[in-house]
Structure 1
């Protein structure tokens, strides 16, 4: 079966991991923060998870979860000073953090420096062993290795589904409304009684945890990680997932990761011009649809057609503008 080619299955795994990474940066974008630290948090989760499963011989699941928790703890330390910054200042600070983390891993003996970590326990390989153990080899004409890859994809899809469900739940809660208010106008949100720093910090930590989980999954799918895997190019790649697909909705990160993971493979026969075509498509999209392919109104219409009833779509900026104007009128009247 050509569709079950190990190469294709690996691309599907990378798509799912990329989608998780895109959602991690979506959280900070949803609260109006341009953070470029996702690759740094991803590297923390990848190295912590890999070291725990490789050196300490802990279960892969434990390593991945601990990696996510350590990434979120690092986010607390980094976020305390940086979440008070705005715009390019925050972007530069978090980009610097990612570079510092990369250099640290590059010079530590425990991480094997520039040589990277190899022989990391593999999720597909572990599941392949289970396939042999339960006599799945040859079942339905599929060998045990392919069964291992398929089960790995199912597990990754479940993790992605849980992450998306969590995002949707957050967006429909008071926390999500606070994020939207801060993104639209953090000054107006603060005047309405929203603790801007608290909610920015929350979004920053949640995004770091998801990035740490994504890093742990990446390490245990590729079997090998190197500090160069989390360089500036990785930062740009992760940022492009929500920007390309739509930064205002969680599904935009999923769509963007799908397109940008598949596009290089589709254009592989144009290897000499692939980067030019890739860049040109991005420029055209940003010129035609600066908010990305998916928008809130589009997702709302699709949800209604699928039978998921939601509240009428009202642009968040319109709501905040009306409230802020009402607040200013009230202030003006009180002065008179």
Structure 2
């Protein structure tokens, strides 16, 4: 019965949407301090190639490879974020886009390690690893009335769903903390924030490093979901796409970035029946969005109205919660 309800293709699409949500959150963190970065495709590629090389060439366990890939990307992001403090706005965007292209060209030309433009194949698949682990624990797809491919797709989706929910939970909590309030203050007015004693250098580098680490983490998951990566997967189109997730949904609140990732990732699939015209509709929608609602679908005012509709907890003040979204 369960096997009749599960379509591996839709589960795979949903898994890619979850990875895009993580990428959208990564760019939201960087934008949270007013830093316009187009280097997240480069950070994503570093994470993907790091875990691929570690698991292929050094037989490192998948989980450990993903963790190390995220840490390495976070360190690189921090090192890039320090000189990037001298740049703002479009200059920072151009510099980080250039960084992403430098990384991509490096992977193309480093044939001995990355296999050049051909890319790396045979990367341990996340689903296969889960399947082998479940078999060692005595859990078989037949127990649930599923075929092997259905079981693998479902298992991958639930693992990515748990990871994505954990990432969102962590950064929602961070938004409500001293760090989140510092991010918000820096975005609104750097000079006033510095006058109030906020260490602007520390928090901007922290945001850049966190965004890079999360993008590298998403790239590592992408590598193990696809089992194949190449430099063309991380070109400047990918960098712009990640930024659009947050800009379209609304970069002022984390839920806007999440909505943008879900909507823009799912829309081409819903429009697949009109073939090549679906991308025309995709582009037209983005143009209309920028013309009539440049702040994005979800903004602070919308979130405040939503919060007023929610039932108040006992003892909670009605004039606000002090969250980043309220500021």
Name the SS of the counterpart of 2:51 in structure 1: helix
**Pick aligned residue for 2:158 from 154, 169, 183:** 154
Matched, 1:89 2:52: no
**Pick aligned residue for 1:276 from 280, 295, 313:** 280
Q: CA deviation at 1:297?
A: 2.9
Q: CA deviation at 1:140?
A: 3.2
Q: CA deviation at 1:53?
A: 1.1
Show the counterpart of 1:47. 49
Matched, 1:139 2:143: yes
Structure 1 unaligned regions, length at least 5: 320-336
Show the counterpart of 2:123. 120
Q: TM-score, normalised by structure 2?
A: 0.92
Which string of whole-angstrom CA distances, capped at 9 and with x for unpartnered residues, describes residues 97-127 of structure 1? Answer: 0000000011112110000000000011112
Name the SS of the counterpart of 2:54 in structure 1: helix
Q: Would the alpha carbon gap of residues 287 and 221 (structure 1) be closer, same or farther in structure 2, given more than 3 Å must change?
A: same
Contact 1:131 1:148 (C-alpha < 8 Å) held by counterparts? no
Q: CA deviation at 1:14?
A: 0.2
Q: Would the alpha carbon gap of residues 142 and 83 (structure 1) be closer, same or farther in structure 2, given more than 3 Å must change?
A: same
Q: Would the alpha carbon gap of residues 316 and 76 (structure 1) be closer, same or farther in structure 2, given more than 3 Å must change?
A: closer
Where in structure 2 are the equivalents of 1:229-268 lying within 5 Å?
229-268=233-272
**Pick aligned residue for 1:68 from 67, 70, 80:** 70
Matched, 1:182 2:182: no
Where in structure 2 are the equivalents of 1:286-325 lying within 5 Å?
286-307=290-311, 312-313=319-320
- Aligned partners of 1:104 and 1:118: how far apart in 2? 18
Contact 2:180 2:324 (C-alpha < 8 Å) held by counterparts? no
Q: CA deviation at 1:35?
A: 0.7
Which string of whole-angstrom CA distances, capped at 9 and with x for unpartnered residues, describes residues 281-318 of structure 1? Answer: 11112222211111123234434544475763589899
- Aligned partners of 1:268 and 1:202: how far apart in 2? 40
- Aligned partners of 2:43 and 2:9: how far apart in 1? 27
Q: TM-score, normalised by structure 1?
A: 0.89
Q: CA deviation at 1:137?
A: 2.1
Name the SS of the counterpart of 1:138 in structure 2: helix
- Aligned partners of 1:63 and 1:305: how far apart in 2? 44
**Pick aligned residue for 1:107 from 109, 114, 119:** 109
Question: CA-atom RMSD, angstroms?
Answer: 2.1
Equivalent residues, number: 319
Structure 2 unaligned regions, length at least 5: none
